Amino acid sequence: MHRLLRAFTDTGVDRGKIERFLDAEPKRGAGTVRDHVAAEMANQLLGALGQAATQDPEKTRRLREIGNWRNYDQRPEE
């Protein structure tokens, strides 16, 4: 992700435009470009650890929306 962001900024495009691109949904309700990238990164990491790749952009979107990474010690609202 770091290399991807660096490649985007090296183009000289305004950071706001880059953020809008990353927050865009190629298919409505299926997660943002950022979610797709994060899911792919998670699957590569899982694969490197010998685990089945189970993350998809939709799951990544849901995790992001409930903010599970911020409130790891609290049960998410249903």
pLDDT in tens, 22-68: 899 988 878 899 889 888 988 998 899 999 888 888 888 887 777 65
Domain that holds residue 11: 2-66
What's the confidence (pLDDT) of residue 29?
Answer: 79
Number of domains in the chain: 1
Name which of 29, 75, 24, 35 is nearest 57 in CA terms.
Answer: 35
- Whether residue 43 is contained in a domain is answered as yes
Across the range 7-17, mean pLDDT stands at: 90
The reply to whether the predicted model has a pTM over 0.75 is no
Check residue 76 and give its pLDDT.
56
Residue 61 lies in a domain: yes
Residue 17 located in a structural domain: yes
